[in-house]
Amino acid sequence: MKTIVTVSPVSIELIDGHPTTTSLDVAAHFGKRHDDVLKLLRNLDCSSEFALRNFAACARPGSNNKPEPYYRMTRDGLTFLCMGFTGKEAAKWKEAYINAFNQLEQAATEKSSLPVIQDAVLEHRAFRGRHILIAKLNDTYWLSAGNLCTALCLGSSDRIVRSLLPQHKRKLRRGNRDLWMIDTMGAERAADYCKAELGSESRIWLNRQFTQLPAEKPIEAPTLTGRRRLISFDHTGKEHIQPVPEDAVVMTLREMISAVATGHLLLSTPELFQLSAALHHRIERRTADEAEQLKELQQRIAMGR
97, 128: one domain: no
CB atoms within 10 A of CB 233: 9
137, 108: one domain: no
pTM exceeds 0.85:
no
Summarised one tens digit per residue, pLDDT across range 62-89 is: 777 788 999 999 999 999 999 889 999 9
Does residue 251 belong to any structural domain of this protein?
Answer: no
Residue 50: pLDDT over 90? yes
Does residue 233 belong to any structural domain of this protein?
Answer: no
Does residue 262 belong to any structural domain of this protein?
Answer: no
Q: How many domains, in total, are found in the chain?
A: 3
Give the residue numbers spanning the domain of 298: 267-304
98, 32: one domain: yes
294, 204: one domain: no
| Eight-state DSSP code of residue 120 | P
Domain's final residue, options 52, 78, 113? 113
- Quickly state the pLDDT bin for 154 (edges 50, 70, 90): confident
Domain's final residue, options 113, 143, 160? 113
Summarised one tens digit per residue, pLDDT across range 262-274 is: 777 677 777 777 8
Distance CA 172, CA 27 (A): 36
Q: What is the CATH number of the domain that holds 142?
A: 3.10.260
CB atoms within 10 A of CB 223: 7
User: Which residues, in sequence order, are CB contacts of 14 under 8 Å at separation 6+?
Assistant: 2, 3, 4, 5, 20, 104, 108
